[in-house]
Amino acid sequence: MSEQAFLVLTALAERPMHGYAIVQAVETTSEGRVRLRVGTLYGVLDRLVADGLAERDREEVHQGRLRRYYRLTDSGIQALAAEVNKLSANVRAASSVLRASGFAPLQLGGPG
């Protein structure tokens, strides 16, 4: 799963969102590291919908513009949880190797 897909699924785990809200949530969650462009966002959303991990929730007009909301499916929740478990296992393994090699453990939120 790409980092962009992971972050979009993470955003949608909070609540159904429209595109701009997803972009903002991804930027916040990634602490500014990931800034999705509109084309990238909708490419990711199209793939998630095609894979059954997200679906269109509703559409509404706001200030004359159409907002399409997306939400996670049950499969999306399962895929996100599986990815969290995989990434957590990878972090534990890498931390163990660093400790065994005599390197100081990395601090969360430190330089990446």
Say which CATH number the domain at 41 has: 1.10.10.10
82 domain-assigned: yes
pLDDT at 112: 46
24 domain-assigned: yes
pTM value is 0.85
Q: Considering its fold, how many domains does the chain have in total?
A: 1
30 domain-assigned: yes
109 domain-assigned: no
The mean per-residue pLDDT over the stretch 37-48 comes to 96
The mean per-residue pLDDT over the stretch 29-43 comes to 95
Q: What percent of the chain has pLDDT over 90?
A: 79
Q: Which tens digit of pLDDT belongs to each residue from 54-105?
A: 999 999 998 999 999 999 999 999 999 999 999 999 999 988 888 888 876 6
Burial class (CB in 10 A: 0-12, 13-18, 19+), 79: buried
